[in-house]
Chain A
Amino acid sequence: MNGKATAHSVVEASSRFKLFCGAIVVFYALVTITPLLWIFLTSIKTPGDSIAYPPKVLSEPTLEGYCNLFEIRSRQTPEYMASLPAADGYCDKLARSRNMVIAGASKTPGRLVNSLLIGFSSTFLAVFLGTLAAYAFSRFRVPVRDDLMFFILSTRFMPPIAVAIPIYLMYRQLGMTDTHFGMILLYTSVNVSLAVWLLKGFIDEIPREYEEAALVDGYTRLQAFVKTVLPQAATGIAATAVFCLIFAWNEYAFAVLLTSGVAQTMPPFIPFIIGEGGQDWPAVAAGTTLFVIPILCFTILLRKHLLRGITFGAVRK
């Protein structure tokens, strides 16, 4: 009994040692999460509180940052202010209290729509193309398969700025600079390599017997693919889609070089949210918070597949 306990002592650490390990990890986690919490706290501060010294941890919460993120204010004369009808709505009242009126909507909603549109479209295309290619690579004897797979992966490693130079010239010739279509196409091409590699891993794990049974039952290859492989690969396809979506959502280099207005996404836009009288930190923090929350949710959902996603399917568990 006693001997057995020592034999396990390395694999199962003593509870005091575990507590010690846990304490260090929790400390690191708290330190690492502080910048994110600070951004959130800044987003609910007034501009004055956000640049207070010493920094205020807790302040009267306000949604002013979020108002400024979505609306543009302008300063007016007291006479004009007095002539206005009573303020309606939360943001309007806040603006009035600072002797300003809301002059209209900001560019934020448009940028958010661009991010969503480009993100979802490129994800859909990349996963669609990736699923087909991954299935073929997984199930058929394709000549020069390893070389093709390497080629597909290697496109992912190209420095984005180096790719952007010829893409910029090409899109200029074709009239595709600053268009949704151009960005969707570009993000699809970057994401398709990830999609092929990840999905090949997932499809490799589905036993071939299912399809073979379907083929014996008289299904064609395409029917067998749609009826047996797709449903079983659903989790893998969903996980891959989330990874593609996160990439497109976060991408900055192409967006900042190839878009300027019409098709601009959130990442190049957020740093340039400028309020009345210089950098409006609560508004920037509000933009960052709204931008980051979906990513945090997806990360928690993806926990189990994270390892695969960041290693192109090489490490599974």
Chain B
Amino acid sequence: MTRLAGISDRTVAWLFISPTIVLLLAINIFPLIWTLYMSFTNFKANMGWVKYKSVGIENYADILTDSDIWAAMQTTAQFVFWSILFEVLLGFGLALLINRKFRGHGLWTTVILLPMMLSPAVVGNFWTFLFQPQIGLFNYIVSFFSGVDPASFQMIGDVKLAPWTIVLVDTWMWTPYVMLICLAGLRSIPDYIYEAAEVDRASAWRQFWSITLPMVLPFLMLAVLFRAIENFKMFDMVNLLTNGGPGSLTETVSITLKRAAFEKWQTGWSSALAIILFVVVFAVANIYVKALNKVKQQ
């Protein structure tokens, strides 16, 4: 057997790392640079034969002053805010309850976790079935408990309800995510801290505010940041559930981007929008990684 003694650890390290880096450079970074280049042009991908020219920062100026983009940003921000709020309240609440370790908690925890593993596209699609007016299960259950006619409201088509519909489905899908991370936070708190608090006769309320919450907070932050990034770029679930409608009422930024890039074929303009989204996500991701490392250190 040939001894590969000639290969130093340093060589092995680079040999092992470089394929991954090369792949990411080819599939992620090269296209990113290309996008950056195109964002300064008026290129249209469906008319590749037309000579395109540089337009400077016109695309960026256009986007940042476009009221439709700001509307989409607002829609996205509201979606992110409300879905995360509900996910945190429900997820943290459930984690507190599950942490009481009642009999069978393992089984029920697994059941609760199932939605977050599903394909968002498939989830969006089958909820459209549940939201059918008249025949849909959701409308039927609501009407059963409230007495409202199940054909009288449309979760997807109604101007008032549609924004809450995407929040509802997102909450259904991702509450388990927040719950699971909070549960890990709760389990990281050693029992003796509570025992000491008990000796000091701290009330349960007091214990929650001065022990439980501060200790779980880094974990909660992690979950919130991750959900914020994911929901900011949300495309698949919303695309199949409402496709941005009615009108453009539930049009998140990703849907705007898809429409501009793959329906209107404004490649240059949408490249500029893509770059803006990159910058936003990258900034949040930076904070996210810092939070990750903080949790790791504990």
Nearest CB of chain A from residue B176's CB, rounded to whole Å = 8
Instruction: Determine if B10 and A295 form an interchain contact, defined as CB atoms under 8 angstroms apart.
Output: no
Instruction: Determine if B19 and A29 form an interchain contact, defined as CB atoms under 8 angstroms apart.
Output: no
Instruction: Determine if A25 and B28 form an interchain contact, defined as CB atoms under 8 angstroms apart.
Output: no
Q: 20 A-B residue contacts at CB 8 Å? A: A11-B195, A13-B101, A34-B137, A53-B150, A136-B13, A136-B16, A140-B10, A157-B288, A159-B232, A159-B274, A162-B257, A163-B32, A166-B271, A170-B30, A221-B9, A222-B4, A222-B7, A292-B119, A299-B114, A311-B292
Q: Which residues of chain B are near A296, meaning CB under 8 Å? A: 114, 117
Main DSSP-derived SS at the A contact region: helix
The complex places the Cα of A267 from the Cα of B17 at a distance, in Å, of 32
Main DSSP-derived SS at the B contact region: helix
Q: Which residues of chain A are near B115, meaning CB under 8 Å? A: 32, 36
In the complex, what residue of chain A is closest to B123 when comparing beta carbons?
A: A35
Q: Does A38 contact B (CB under 8 A)?
A: yes
In the complex, what residue of chain B is closest to A31 when comparing beta carbons?
A: B172
Chain B positions within 8 Å of A, measured between CB atoms, are 3-5, 7, 9-10, 12-17, 19-21, 23-24, 26-32, 34-35, 38, 45, 90, 94, 97-98, 100-105, 108-122, 125-127, 129-130, 132, 134-137, 140, 150, 172, 175-177, 180-181, 184, 187, 191, 194-195, 197-199, 204, 207, 219, 222, 226, 229, 232-233, 235-236, 239-240, 254, 257-258, 261-262, 267, 270-271, 273-275, 277-278, 281-282, 284-286, 288-289, 292, 295-296
Nearest CB of chain A from residue B136's CB, rounded to whole Å = 8
Instruction: Determine if A314 and B222 form an interchain contact, defined as CB atoms under 8 angstroms apart.
Output: yes
Instruction: Determine if A250 and B118 form an interchain contact, defined as CB atoms under 8 angstroms apart.
Output: yes
Instruction: Determine if A39 and B17 form an interchain contact, defined as CB atoms under 8 angstroms apart.
Output: no
Residue among A17, A26, A288 making CB contact with B125, cutoff 8 Å: A288
Stretch from A91-99, A100-108, A185-193 at the B interface? A185-193
Instruction: Determine if B27 and A185 form an interchain contact, defined as CB atoms under 8 angstroms apart.
Output: yes
Nearest CB of chain A from residue B168's CB, rounded to whole Å = 11
Q: Does A274 contact B (CB under 8 A)?
A: no
Q: What total of chain A residues lie within 8 Å of the partner, measured CB to CB? A: 103
Q: Does A22 contact B (CB under 8 A)?
A: yes
Chain A positions within 8 Å of B, measured between CB atoms, are 6-11, 13, 17-19, 21-22, 24-26, 28-29, 32-36, 38-39, 42, 51-55, 129-130, 132-133, 135-137, 140, 142, 148, 150-155, 157-170, 172, 185-186, 188-189, 192-193, 196, 220-222, 246, 249-253, 256-257, 267-268, 270-271, 281, 284-285, 288, 291-292, 295-296, 298-300, 303, 306-307, 310-312, 314-315, 317
Nearest CB of chain B from residue A159's CB, rounded to whole Å = 4
